[in-house]
Structure 1
Amino acid sequence: MKFFPSIYLLMPIALLLSSCKTMLKMQDYPNKKIMLRENISGAQSKRTQVLIVPSKSKLEIAKEKSANRILDGKLAEIIASTGAEIIDRELQKKLLSEIKRCENQGYALGRQCFKSKVPDIIISTEITSIDLSSSFSRASSSKDKKGKTYKTPASCSYKTNFESLVNIYNMQKLQLKESVKIKGNKSISQDTNNAKCPFNQALLESSITASIQDAAKYYGSDIKTLFSPKAKVIEYRWGNNQKDNFFRLSIGKSEGARPGLEVVIMRDEAETTNSPSQYDFSSEIARGVIMKTDSQYREAWVQVKSRESALRVKAGDFAKIIYTAPACKDKFYKGLCEIF
């Protein structure tokens, strides 16, 4: 008997895609009028302009191994994925010279420092620690119950620990918005008889780069949430199923919205407290997941499973993407996350 695994694997995926496409046709759901909280004309979200000041460090190893440049690159990559606009090099150079002139004159960082356009957010980072350690393990051997011998060669274990402080300044409110300490590490093992276990140049550079990448990966969702785009609720559509509640938001792909991301709908704008993962959700009305985005009309459709929560939402309420709470953990949205 012959089997065709490729066909059997594709069938459930095709069925899932088919059902998902049917669900994402908004014209199949009637438009329900909702109370207007405030004027939503011109409610389209704007991209946040971010200036990343080159990282600083008193550590010679950070300067020698380009750790500052690697960290800045990873931060830019993370923030850009939220739809924020990273200021280009030409304008960055101009703004940095204005900041330096301002500091030399003894002024604190603020609007008075800029003759050019003031960015929305300024990020300043400092690498505070890069610790290297290594240990040697002698060759060994062991036997199992059947008398078979297993040999373990001599080896060196190398570990790199990385720490940095990321300061985020809100230039609209002229204040430090958040200060985040990020940490990362990298451990590797190599077979060798050299009991001194020295770090060669290639190993040193790859270990530092990997530890920075580890920090960016672990704290990436926290940093993303600090820059997550905000939008307003514009429209509500529903179906006979109590879970078929869809809200149109004033945000699209270019602003960082994409299917599978969780959204919190609130009466008022959320502000961070002491930690990137802690938000004031006292005015939270509903939670949902982005099911569809449209780049042409700069809009996103969010599904809220609770009809009771959905009926409390008003046009003009705020919506914010939360990267620290992946919707894929919810069985209801699992198929969507697998597709996107």
Structure 2
Amino acid sequence: MKKLITLTTLSVALLASGCTNVPKTTPPTLGADYELEKSAANPSPKGAQANKVVLFDVEDGGLAAVKEAKLDNTIKSQLDRSIRNGGGQVVDRDLASGLKEEIKRSIMAGEGSYQGAPVADYAIITKVSNATYGSSFDEAWVDDDGDKHPAECDYSASVSATVNVYTLPELKRVKSLDSEDSASTSEETRSSDCGGINYGGLLRSAAKDSMVDIKGQLKSFFAPVGYVTGAKLYELDEGQVVLKTSLTSDLGAKPGGGVEIARVQPNGDRYKVVEGEIGKPVLQSGANVVVEKASADKIKIGDEVSLDYSCSFMGCKFDEAIGQ
């Protein structure tokens, strides 16, 4: 047990402080301009912008447990939190409720685009495919050391859902995330009739954890998008280059944070180019990002820069528990 506590404490310390030194990108560390080509799709990049998201009511799949346990509120609340924590903007829910049927009709009719008001960049439709619960009884028993263990009732619940993300107005599904989790508890009993629990709490716990499991992917997907606006040689390491970007601290940029640099083609296709690390300090005009010089020639002015919210090696639930 002592080793486990020590490992957990060390893990928390590493995540809280960062596993590596944050690169310093103050003016004295920046050298001559490093020439980059201009992106054909975005040759004159502007400032960063946050993604606007329409979050629709959760579809219950005809499962009575979803309504009984009010899983709609639990799931929407967790999705809302993940999107906002990642720097995205969630459109007013009253407005969203009026759009859902219009967008669903467009999807079902295969119209290929949404013709309504341009209120958001993305729409999320979530459907619960499983919400089950049950119990089992364990009789009293004696272990090999002679210790007595009382009879117990074990209660469990599981929830599965699919989160689909559509672009607006194109109505193109660009992300589909399957989530599944469970929750359980037990209590000592004198009766094999395990019916003394309200399963709503377990179902809500399972639903919340299922959304936590995909929060890193959601935050990264909806993270605000900045752009590469220039580059300079890095005086502290000749094997690295510093990129000037339009991603600001107001949109979540923090020293030591990871970013993904992506290329958007004229036809709208997007693909990852390289990864980088935000230097310190983060300037009001935008963050400096340090990348390997060997990768710099792949980057173009106008390429997208977004924060990487991937969960740590300890997992999404661990990150959630320590507030990461």
Normalising by the residue count of structure 2, what TM-score does the alignment of the two structures yield? 0.77
For 2:302, which of 299, 312, 316 is the aligned residue? Answer: 316
Percent of paired sites with the same residue: 20
Label 1:234 to 1:272 Cα distance change in 2 as closer, same or farther (>3 A). closer
Code of the residue aligned with 1:60 in structure 2: it is A
What is the CA distance between 1:21 and its match in structure 2? 7.6
For 1:79, which of 77, 83, 92 is the aligned residue? Answer: 83
Determine the structure 2 residue equivalent to 1:307: 293
Deviates more, 1:205-214 or 1:263-272: 263-272
Q: Is the 8 A contact 1:135 1:157 kept in 2?
A: yes
Deviations 1:154-213 (A, max 9, x none): 212222110112121111323222232211111222222231222522xx1221121112
Determine the structure 2 residue equivalent to 1:63: 67
Label 1:133 to 1:295 Cα distance change in 2 as closer, same or farther (>3 A). farther
Alignment of 1:153-172 (within 5 A): 153-172=150-169
Which runs of 4 or more aligned residues in structure 1 lie more than 4 Å from their structure 2 counterparts after TM superposition? 19-22, 38-42, 101-110, 269-273, 325-329
Q: Which has the higher contact order (CA 8 A, sep 6+)?
A: 2
Segments of structure 1 that go 5 or more residues without pairing to the other structure are 1-11, 274-278, 330-337
What is the CA distance between 1:291 and its match in structure 2? 3.3
What is the CA distance between 1:98 and its match in structure 2? 4.6
CA distance in 1, matches of 2:266, 2:288: 20
**Does residue 242 of the first structure (1) align with residue 230 of the second (2)?**
no
Deviations 1:288-331 (A, max 9, x none): 1223464743x222222x222235433323333333375999xx
For 1:190, which of 173, 184, 187 is the aligned residue? Answer: 187
CA distance in 2, matches of 1:269, 1:220: 27
Segments of structure 2 that go 5 or more residues without pairing to the other structure are 1-12, 316-321
Give the count of matched residue pairs: 297
**Does residue 208 of the first structure (1) align with residue 196 of the second (2)?**
no
Determine the structure 2 residue equivalent to 1:53: 56
Deviations 1:2-44 (A, max 9, x none): xxxxxxxxxx99xx99x95882534432242323414664521
1:119 partner SS: coil
CA distance in 2, matches of 1:317, 1:177: 19
CA distance in 1, matches of 2:279, 2:243: 10
CA distance in 2, matches of 1:195, 1:254: 57
Label 1:192 to 1:172 Cα distance change in 2 as closer, same or farther (>3 A). same
Label 1:215 to 1:80 Cα distance change in 2 as closer, same or farther (>3 A). same
RMSD over aligned Cα atoms: 3.7
Q: Is the 8 A contact 2:36 2:297 kept in 1?
A: no
Determine the structure 2 residue equivalent to 1:9: none
Alignment of 1:1-340 (within 5 A): 23-38=24-39, 41-57=44-60, 58-88=62-92, 92-100=93-101, 110-112=113-115, 114=116, 116-144=117-145, 149-198=146-195, 200-201=197-198, 204-237=199-232, 238-268=234-264, 280-281=271-272, 284=273, 286-292=274-280, 294=282, 296-297=284-285, 299-304=286-291, 306-324=292-310
Label 1:229 to 1:240 Cα distance change in 2 as closer, same or farther (>3 A). same
What is the CA distance between 1:130 and its match in structure 2? 0.7
2:165 partner SS: strand
Normalising by the residue count of structure 1, what TM-score does the alignment of the two structures yield? 0.73
Code of the residue aligned with 1:227 in structure 2: it is F
What is the CA distance between 1:229 and its match in structure 2? 3.1
Q: Is the 8 A contact 1:253 1:293 kept in 2?
A: no
Code of the residue aligned with 2:54 in structure 1: it is L
Code of the residue aligned with 1:263 in structure 2: it is V
CA distance in 1, matches of 2:219, 2:90: 14
Larger Rg: 1
Q: Is the 8 A contact 1:257 1:293 kept in 2?
A: no
